[in-house]
Amino acid sequence: MTSTRTSSPAGRFPAGALAFPHRDLVGIGELQTHEILYILEEAEQWVALNRQPHKHSDLLSGLTIINAFFENSTRTLLSFEIAGKRLGADVVNMHAAQSSVKKGETLIDTAMTLNAMRADAIVIRHGSSGAVRLIANRVDCPVLNAGDGQHEHPTQALLDALTLRHALRARGREEFNGLRITICGDILHSRVARSNMLCLTALGAKLRVCAPPALLPAGIGEIGVEAFHDFDAALDGAEVVMMLRLQNERMSGQFIPSAREYRHLYGLTAKRLALAEPDALVMHPGPMNRGVEIDSDVADLPGRSLITRQVEMGVAIRMACLDVLTRRTRGVEGWA
Amino acid sequence: MKQPYPLTIVNGRLVLPDGVRAGSLRCAGARIVALDATPEGGDDVVDAKGALIAPGLVDLGVFAVDKPAFHFGGITRAALMPDQSPPLDHPARIQFLAYSGKPDLWVHPLAAATVGLAGADLAELALMRDAGARAVATGRRWIADSGVMLRLLRYAAMLDLTVVTHAEDGGLAGQAVATAGEIATRLGLPSAPAEAEALAVARDIALAELSGARLHLRQVTTKAALDLVRAAKKRGVAVTAGVTPAHFMLSDLATAEFRTFARLSPPLREEADRQAVIEAIGDGTIDVISSGHDPRGPEDKRLPFADAEPGMAGAETLLAMVLSLVRDGVIDLPRAFDLVAWKPAQLLGVDAGVLEVGKQADIALVDPDRPWIVQSARMEASAGNTPFDGQPAQGRVIALYKGGVRVGK
């Protein structure tokens, strides 16, 4: 055990469970700003631990965490698995093929089954918006949303915020207030975009979203972001550029004439990036389609691309979420 | 069921087309034989104790025959949508269903406009009419091919059948389960612009005008589409419009937290459209309010929002919700029963829906002020999928008569 609880200075957050009074983490939309900040703060110790050669804690020793993924995933599943294992929990992965367990009572039945196995936390990814909330309402243990349809992907937004905070601090900047962020890509189908819009605006950033009209959802202005169709205009003055891939698997019908046409209008090339602030940071939640929404020389730009850093922070954020949400079960003082 | 003895209901308030007044009503041989009658020897006499004596409701467009729910809601006749399994596209099925509710509920099956409701080949409409179909319906789908739609309307016009359509442009609606807007965006639900309705309404009105057919748009739920209906009526087009209470009681806010009981077809709209529906009920643009009764159990509703089936159990709450419009001053009592009984009866060509000598004695005694709470778990319907769960309501049917005979509880 090398981790120490140095962060969370007393008084910055409410005491005990009041700092994060939720049983589940289903969406950023359910969180207050100080609760978002609390998770970010809690994650710092795990960032430190993960950089040690001996990266293990026994905090969740004896607990069982089930990763129930009803939709294919590589990186998120791996990230949650590593997070659980580094905290000493017994982690079980359940790959439920979308086709066999999508319909009917089966989803609820699956949830009841996991519940009956006395999981101490369940991490769920599902292809339908709202599916995670549905399951969370039916089980007795904390539920973490690892992505539900086009709704939310809260740990992705939290890890993006943590990544950004580290990068900003390295540049001597503490606050998100007024930070100009442009998110470009398939906003309509992206749960990452929704969670990030809610999270980053809550933290005080000024968000622009950019996509062709068919890939921008209606009523986006009411969420407090500015919508653009012209990527060049959206990049003007941007301090952070976050690219999203086209979610072809969620599209019904044709939204874009071709990949090369999409790249022509919305691909982040080095030339385009020059339209943003000179030292603008580049992010992408992955998986990337190099040569479509982002060029390799931009994706790999030293000192400015945060893409691998996002992956690193993902493990720490998921450790923090697992820790915080299982405190009640573990009888942590002030949480039980 | 023959009416064994004449029935006289006294001490009531008669809901007549031109007003509400104290009075009594006598029925014999299943028909209304006199208003303001005094009971004769041998009559069953019922003291209404000041309750409303109103026509039994004629529910234009239900998805299931659910007698206990209909009787609770004062519904004596229900027009069954063709969206059954299998669809009502065959005369034998029409004939069977036309008799299925008798004697205490009359089911008026609506013939599927096209084979399998697929929107391609016309079904045997004349045979189904003669087997008991009271109108033709496209079901919960729209007919995308305008050529098919025009042929349908022309044929139905010849057969003197009203065509009941579902007005949502299929290309725009696609797989949508919500109306495009802030709520759908926040929830991440597949959504379609509300204009999908106006587009479909515009086309159907144009084709109805061309063919001379009678067109009934079963649910018109947006301001833009209601404006089109209003203008068409002004031109004299034979178009009527309906709606269900969900669209004047609720907006898309009710879908927050993925409440699948509020997953409806067409989906709930934004608040401005809800207001437009109320206005259209007030000014007569909307002719019919129906329940859209579609009881769905947990296997259809306890699912992620987009995977759940659309529809609500609406029969029990129909009258109470319409009476809320009376209390709000949008309409008066005679007009309320015009919307839920007389207009739909005329559309279906049935001899009921109004308190008039010679009409079928389908009578509801209604206490318009009686308060109650809508409780999903305690409904008469075969499933309790109501978006009004937990809400207070006012107005209950205290006795129901079909053909002069007491039915239901």
Looking at residue A100, what is its pLDDT? Answer: 53
User: CA nearest B192 in A: which residue?
Assistant: A218
Q: How far apart are CA B257 and CA B244, in angstroms?
A: 22
Q: How far apart are CA B71 and CA B315, in angstroms?
A: 9
Q: Residues B3-32, buried b or exposed e (16+ Cβ, 10 A)? A: beebbbbbebbbbbeeebeebbbbbbebbb
Neighbour tally for B110: CB within 10 Å = 30
Chain B interface, best mutation among A128, A135, A198, A249, by max B CB count within 10 A: A128
* A218: contact with B, CB 8 A cutoff: yes
Please report which helix (H) or strand (E) contains residue A213, including its range.
none
pLDDT, one tens digit per residue, over A41-69 is 999 999 999 999 999 999 999 999 999 99
Min Cα distance B220 → chain A (Å) is 22
DSSP state of B65: -
Average pLDDT over residues B138-153: 96
* A223: contact with B, CB 8 A cutoff: yes
- Find out whether A248 and A215 touch, Cβ atoms under 8 Å: no
DSSP B305-326: GGGSPP-B--TTTHHHHHHHHH
pLDDT, one tens digit per residue, over B340-377 is 999 999 999 999 999 999 999 999 999 999 999 999 99
Q: Where are the alpha helices (DSSP H) in A126-176?
A: 131-136, 154-170
Min Cα distance A319 → chain B (Å) is 26
Q: How far apart are CA B220 and CA B233, in angstroms?
A: 14
Chain B interface, best mutation among A134, A138, A247, by max B CB count within 10 A: A134
Q: What is the mean pLDDT of chain A?
A: 92
User: CA nearest A216 in B: which residue?
Assistant: B185
Please report which helix (H) or strand (E) contains residue A208, including its range.
strand A206-210
* A145: contact with B, CB 8 A cutoff: no
Taking CB atoms and an 8 Å cutoff, what residues of chain A touch B187? 129-130, 151
- Residue B225 in tokens: 């589409």
Closest by Cβ to A128, choosing from B184, B186, B306 = B306
pLDDT, one tens digit per residue, over B87-128 is 999 999 999 999 999 999 999 999 999 999 999 999 999 999
Average pLDDT over residues B140-156: 97
Min Cα distance B298 → chain A (Å) is 8
Looking at residue B37, what is its pLDDT? Answer: 87
Neighbour tally for A172: CB within 10 Å = 6
Percent of chain B with pLDDT over 90: 96
Taking CB atoms and an 8 Å cutoff, what residues of chain A touch B191? 217-218
Closest CA relative to residue B364, chosen from B6, B53, B104: B53
Q: How far apart are CA B24 and CA B26, in angstroms?
A: 7
Min Cα distance B271 → chain A (Å) is 14
- Residue B335 in tokens: 């007009």
Give the three-state DSSP class for A6. coil
Percent of chain A with pLDDT over 90: 81
Q: Do B180 and A102 touch (CB under 8 A)?
A: no
Q: Do A130 and B299 touch (CB under 8 A)?
A: no
Q: How far apart are CA A201 and CA A69, in angstroms?
A: 29
Domains with residue ranges and CATH for chain A: 16-153+312-330 (3.40.50.1370), 154-311 (3.40.50.1370)
Closest CA relative to residue B399, chosen from B26, B33, B74, B57: B74
Looking at residue A258, what is its pLDDT? Answer: 87
Domains with residue ranges and CATH for chain B: 57-353+371-392 (3.20.20.140)
Q: Do B184 and A217 touch (CB under 8 A)?
A: yes
Which of A13-22, A92-101, B150-159 ranks highest by mean pLDDT?
A: B150-159
- Residue B234 in tokens: 């002004």
C-alpha distances (whole Å) from B49 to each of A305, A321, B13, B367 are 80, 64, 9, 10
pLDDT, one tens digit per residue, over A172-206 is 998 899 999 999 999 999 999 999 999 999 999 99
The more confident residue out of A281 and B3 is A281
Q: Report the first-to-last Cα separation within chain B, whole angstroms.
A: 17
- Residue A18 in tokens: 């009041």
Closest by Cβ to B304, choosing from A126, A218, A219 = A126
SS3 content of chain A, % helix, strand, coil (to 5): 40, 15, 45
Looking at residue B282, what is its pLDDT? Answer: 98
Q: How far apart are CA B293 and CA B299, in angstroms?
A: 17
Closest by Cβ to B175, choosing from A131, A194, A252 = A252
C-alpha distances (whole Å) from A266 to each of A181, A259, A307 are 16, 10, 18
Q: Pairing mode, if any, of strands B19-28 and B215-217?
A: unpaired
The chain B residues in contact with chain A (CB within 8 A) are 174-175, 180-191, 193, 257-258, 298-299, 302-307
Query: Which residues are registered as beta bridge partners of A263?
Result: none
Query: Which residues are registered as beta bridge partners of B163?
Result: B136, B215
Q: Where are the alpha helices (DSSP H) in B188-267?
A: 195-211, 223-235, 246-249
pLDDT, one tens digit per residue, over B66-76 is 999 999 999 99
Q: How far apart are CA B218 and CA B195, in angstroms?
A: 17
Give the three-state DSSP class for A95. strand
3-state secondary structure B340-373: HHHHHHHHHCCCCCCCCCCCECCEEEEEEEEEEE
Looking at residue A2, what is its pLDDT? Answer: 43
CA angle, residues A103, A146, A227, in degrees to nearest 5? 100
Q: How far apart are CA A18 and CA B348, in angstroms?
A: 61
To which residue do tokens 């308030």 refer?
B13
Min Cα distance A67 → chain B (Å) is 19
CA atoms within a 13 Å half-sphere pointing along the CA-CB vector of A323: 23
Query: Which residues are registered as beta bridge partners of A124?
Result: A68, A145
Looking at residue A252, what is its pLDDT? Answer: 67
To which residue do tokens 């859209």 refer?
B292
Taking CB atoms and an 8 Å cutoff, what residues of chain B touch A219? 180-185
Average pLDDT over residues A274-302: 95
Q: What is the mean pLDDT of chain B?
A: 96
Closest CA relative to residue A69, chosen from A142, A144, A133: A144
Taking CB atoms and an 8 Å cutoff, what residues of chain B touch A71? none
DSSP A227-265: EES-HHHHHTT-SEEEE----GGG--S-SSS-HHHHHHH
Q: Spell out the residues 6+ positions from residue B300 whose beta carbon is closer than 8 angstroms to its own.
A: B308, B309, B385
Query: Which residues are registered as beta bridge partners of B15?
Result: B20
User: CA nearest B258 in A: which residue?
Assistant: A130
Packing angle between helix A154-170 and helix A307-325, nearest 10 degrees? 120
Query: What are the phi and psi torsion angles at A5 (to 5°)?
Result: -90, 75
Q: Is A55 exposed, middle or buried (CB count within 10 Å of its CB: 0-12, 13-18, 19+)?
A: middle
